[in-house]
Amino acid sequence: MGDKFLSSLRKLSFQVECTSHAEAILSVDFPKALQEIEQVLQSMRIPVEELVRGGGGESKGTQRLRKAFAKLNWKKTKFELKKLINEAEKQSISHEIDHVRISDRGTIALEIEWNNKDPFFDRDLENFKRLHAEGAISVGVIITRGKTLQDKLREFIRNFALKNKILSTGDLAKFDLELTKRKRDETERRTKDGKVSFADAWASQFCGDKYGQATTHWQKLKDRITRGVGNPCPLLLIGIPDTVVTE
């Protein structure tokens, strides 16, 4: 990969990988779109408290990314592919993409997978493959949690617990968090002899439940790319690093 390709992101420790000549296509035909991707991600910051609070629906970090792309005209788009025989419709398939950038040189489809179940990668990649095969898009882009961020989540959560004096299940209430009876019993069992602190036990349990291996992160995406999912659609893959988290 060329040194200048998304160099500002790589200097900030973002992981950047391309498949099927996506780098050449984006560099020559979509330089403005590349600048917009850099612009949005360069300013990305996630307060550690957002990692903890989360709640239902999309995270605040994802919402900020979506709004930033929307302001730059990356629009949610529904592609509808129809098969006609003698002007009679025989088949219709639709694919909705969250962020689409259209220019006179072609179309880029982009999905943000911050923290979904990892089969969402299969959906995104298969959508990209079909749309590319039909000439609807030139390149697909996926942004997800990078390796360094995935590896450091437990440390971030543990430090948050220590800094905010979360020393028991009762202390979780001030952050609108609670444990089920099963999780509470498990935490008490792990901390009973004093060898494991509550912060360590809770951080391990929290990350396993919310940001576990079965969620969308870099390694799960790479596993699919290695198996050829989405091939031969040109792809740009971007992993968000631990450096975006502010403590």
* Per-residue pLDDT tens over the stretch 75-103: 999 999 888 788 777 777 888 999 999 99
Q: With 70 as the cut, is the pLDDT of residue 244 above it?
A: yes
The residue ranges of DSSP E strands in 46-134, in sequence order, are 46-47, 75-85, 88-103, 106-113
The secondary structure of 11-49, three-state, reads HCCCEEEEECCHHHHHHHHCHHHHHHHHHHHHCCCEEHH
Tell if the pTM clears 0.75, that is, is over it. Answer: yes
Which pLDDT score, from 0 to 100, does residue 23 have? Answer: 97
> What CATH code would you report for 12-149+211-246?
3.40.91.20
Sort strands 46-47 and 245-246 into parallel, antiparallel or unpaired.
parallel
If you search the block for the tokens 């901390």, which residue do you land on? 191
Q: How confident is the model at residue 55 (pLDDT cuts 50, 70, 90)?
A: low
Which pLDDT score, from 0 to 100, does residue 221 have? Answer: 98
Which pLDDT score, from 0 to 100, does residue 78 have? Answer: 95
Which pLDDT score, from 0 to 100, does residue 194 have? Answer: 74
Q: With 90 as the cut, is the pLDDT of residue 178 above it?
A: no
Residues 6+ apart with CB under 8 A from 55: 176
* Cα gap 65→110, rounded to integer Å: 12
Domain boundaries, the chain: 12-149+211-246
Output the CA torsion sign for 23, 237, 64, 163: negative
Which range has the worst mean pLDDT, 41-55, 175-189, 203-217? 175-189
Q: Which has more confidence, 167 or 124?
A: 124
Q: How confident is the model at residue 54 (pLDDT cuts 50, 70, 90)?
A: low
The two three-digit tokens of residue 218, written as one number: 């870099």
* Cα gap 79→135, rounded to integer Å: 11
* Residue 177 per-residue DSSP state: -
3-state secondary structure of 190: helix
